[in-house]
A and B are shown apart, each in its own frame.
Chain A
Amino acid sequence: MIQTQTSTQPSVKKRRQLSDRAIMLLFIMPTMIILVLMNIYPLFYSLYLSFTEYSVIGREAPKWVGFANYIEILTDERFWSNFAITGRYAIISVALQMLIGFGLALLLRDKFRGSGIVTTLILVPMMLSPVVVGLFWRLMFHPSQGIVNYMLGFTNPNTSPQWLESPVLSMWAVIIVDVWMWSPFVMLLALAGLSAIPEYLYEAASIDRASAWFQFRRITLPQVMPLLLIAVLFRTIEAIKQFDLVMGITGGAPSVETISVRLYREAFNEFDTGLSSAFAYIVLIIIIGISNIYIRQLNKARGD
């Protein structure tokens, strides 16, 4: 017995010797290992690949080509067309989402009977899968069987708008669906901002006989602005990465070929891994650049 006790003592002591730092590392390490293997390593490996001529399905090793892939992308008219399409889409879509989302938030700001249910119902679109949304909107945009043209009063499929055929309308079709899906997200953030505005500010303004417009401009808007800017940031990043809706609704028609659709085609249709890695890095740099601009504005709005 005595022997047993003495033999177990060192191990107990050893276990007790584990420092807080060691325990912390033990907990963090699995996550760190997964992060390094699944994120950090691929990130740097794809950076290396972006400077090579390489196809993932080929048997040839990556061949170093320096900045050739970046030069090819930046001097190719079609890539610029993809950037222009994405830019146009992002600006219009995010602007409409901000207007509609903020408008809805103002309408739902004051509680009324059933306002909880109405708010929940408005949030439903953003809970759906983008692929499912894209597919059922494609059916709704169908010129002869879709409900969109019917609701607009067009019953003759030959004279009704060809939403997914016309290069102009197909862009609007994707924008409409994106706005339908994500305006509720803006509304949610705006509602959070509106509910945080102290009531006494409005009371003081009313005593001073400030008009409703003045109150909106000088109290509501500045108070909600930080949250609206966060919404703009998130939605812009998402719009730049837009892929699911475009593929679901139009199948990636040339008139709505966003940079993500083009990236997918370069990477998985043509298997040009080197070029697509370079393209992905250009998109990443654009997103980081835009995010920085927004974050600066956000800090300014917060008065930092």
Chain B
Amino acid sequence: MKKILALLVTLVLTSPAFAQVDEITIWWAEWDPANYLQQIGNDYEAATGIKVNVVQEPWGSFLNKVSAEWAAQGSGFDMVVGDSQWLGQAVTEGHYVDMTDFLTSTGIKDTVTEATLRYYAEYDGRLYAYPTEGDANGWAYRKDLFENPDEMAAFQERYGYELAVPQTWAQLRDIAEFFTRPDEGLYGNAIYTQVDYDGITMGFQNVFFSYGADWADETNNVLGVVNSPEAVAALELYKELYSFAPPGLNNAFFAESNDAFINGQVAMAMNYFAFFPALANPEINPHAENTGYFAMPAGPDGERYAALGGQGISINSYIDDTRKQAAYDFIEWFAQEDIQLRWAQLGGYTCNTNVLSSPEFLEVAPFNAAFAETMTFVKDFWNIPVYGQLLEPVQRNVHNFVVGGQGTAQEAMDNIANEHDEVLVEAGVINE
């Protein structure tokens, strides 16, 4: 009888519901911030004894890998640091745990900036992620060119105002034009033109939103909104900026933009802040000492927006309650201000409001001030389940016009508006 009792106790204690979690797994894309998160995980292991494995997957196959796990309702990971655009699908299909009560009751919700909470975590009024790696587009520029007295005088004479960090898109355009000197191998700017995933859309959105355009109105109507005069003007400006880019940047994303800057080909380069550490490293960028950074300029009416990158950490809904609790515990620990400061010092882009405004953060890297400023005006593309179908027409039509020189800006935006309308009607987001 005793033996049977002992066996039963053993069985109960070793069953999954009573199992002690001594290891948690986080999936993320393969890039430097994931290495920083692993270091944070090592700190967590030292503090709690629970090992953290950050499993990295190349960006190109990251969504495929996560999707396969979702489709199988698998428990291969406890948490995933997923793209903001995945939210709609992950939430509507039940892959993410609803973290609203947890983030509210612990007060974590109030520790991050409003914009990051909205775009990395929120879907249909509920919260499904903790904003982890904030990111958005910004600019790097050559201070030695901008502060050269001869250049400043020449610019003043030609444009009638002082050469300085641009405050508006119109000024940025003038500066790009001014520094475009093919005979010297110098061009005004490097911008995103990549056609395969979302590169050109992300780059264009910086101008698009700042010009007062949007992907839909409050009722999700797109006709007359996506192809508004502001949207058309924004696209025309983006094409103009492309004419000030070095030849060969017809399919450029973050790597090509950084390369053009490092090679001394451009005076300004658009990129995600996550890729600016390379520009601040003298071993990579010979102009590192002379590189400055600024946030997105304002549109004609003073509006400022930056296209959002970055990700939030979400909990897999297919793991058992013990593992969910372990995931909550990790997030609660990770969200503490001192850990967020450590995260920022390692190179991670915190979304914590206090850390973002702290002198320690602002001084730790030359681009952090611009990043902190940017995190207050980020804006994203659609994040509903059909975002892939909405993204594709933008990529194709914007690339066709900006790079391929086909049609007019009005035609390109009209095409996008019509195709978006079809997708949204079919998805039931709007009525026919």
Contacts and interface: CB of A to CB of B under 8 A. Distances in A.
B247 interface: yes
Given A56-B71, A57-B67, A167-B404, A250 B251 contact: yes
Given A57-B67, A164-B251, A270 B389 contact: yes
B251 A251 contact: yes
Which secondary structure dominates where chain A touches chain B? loop
Chain B interface bracket (under 10, 10 to 19, 20 to 34, 35 or more): 20 to 34
Which secondary structure dominates where chain B touches chain A? loop
B196 A165 contact: no
B247 A59 contact: no
Contact of A158 (B70, B93, B196, B247): B247
Interface in A164-180: 164-167
A75 to B, nearest CB: 13
Interface in A18-61: 56-59
Interface in B350-408: 388-389, 391-392, 396, 399-400, 403-406
B194 A251 contact: yes
Contacts of B93: 58-59
Most chain A CB neighbours (cut-off 10 Å) among B64, B70, B246, B248: B248
Interface stretch (A9-17, A137-145, A277-285): A137-145
A222 interface: no
B392 A143 contact: no
Contact of A251 (B70, B89, B182, B196): B196
Interface in B177-199: 182, 185, 194-197
Nearest to B403: A165
B175 to A, nearest CB: 19
A57 B403 CA distance: 32
A253 interface: yes
Given A164-B250, A251-B194, A270 B403 contact: no
A299 interface: no
B198 to A, nearest CB: 10
A106 B185 CA distance: 46
A148 to B, nearest CB: 12
Most chain B CB neighbours (cut-off 10 Å) among A158, A165, A255: A165
Nearest to A159: B182
Nearest to A257: B396
Chain A interface bracket (under 10, 10 to 19, 20 to 34, 35 or more): 20 to 34
A147 B90 CA distance: 47
B388 A59 contact: no
B58 interface: no
A157 B248 CA distance: 9
Contacts of A166: 404-405
B89 A253 contact: no
B300 interface: no
B94 interface: yes
Interface in B81-106: 89, 93-94
Nearest to B253: A251
Contacts of B250: 162, 164-165, 253
A146 B392 CA distance: 30
A57 B72 CA distance: 9
Contacts of A157: 182, 246-248
Interface in B236-251: 246-248, 250-251
A250 B194 CA distance: 10
A32 to B, nearest CB: 27
Contacts of B182: 156-158
A79 interface: no
Contacts of B400: 254-255
A256 to B, nearest CB: 10
Contacts of B246: 144, 157
Given A59-B93, A162-B250, A167-B404, A270 B392 contact: yes
A181 interface: no
Given A58-B93, A269-B197, A255 B392 contact: no
A146 to B, nearest CB: 8
A247 B197 CA distance: 12
Interface string B46-79: 0000000000000000001001101101000000
Contacts of A254: 195, 396, 399-400, 404
Contacts of A271: 67, 388
Interface string A161-203: 0101111000000000000000000000000000000000000
Nearest to B247: A143
A259 to B, nearest CB: 15
Contact of B247 (A144, A251, A255, A272): A144
Given A57-B70, A157-B182, A167 B406 contact: yes
Contact of A268 (B64, B89, B194): B64
A164 B247 CA distance: 10
Given A146-B248, A160-B247, A269-B197, 5 more contacts: A142-B248, A144-B185, A144-B247, A253-B251, A271-B67
Interface of A: 56-59, 142-146, 156-158, 160, 162, 164-167, 247, 250-255, 265, 268-272
11 contacts: A57-B67, A57-B68, A57-B71, A59-B70, A145-B248, A157-B247, A157-B248, A165-B250, A166-B404, A253-B399, A255-B404
10 cross-chain pairs, A with B, having the tightest CB-CB distances, nearest first: A57-B67, A143-B247, A251-B251, A165-B250, A157-B247, A270-B388, A142-B248, A158-B182, A59-B93, A167-B404
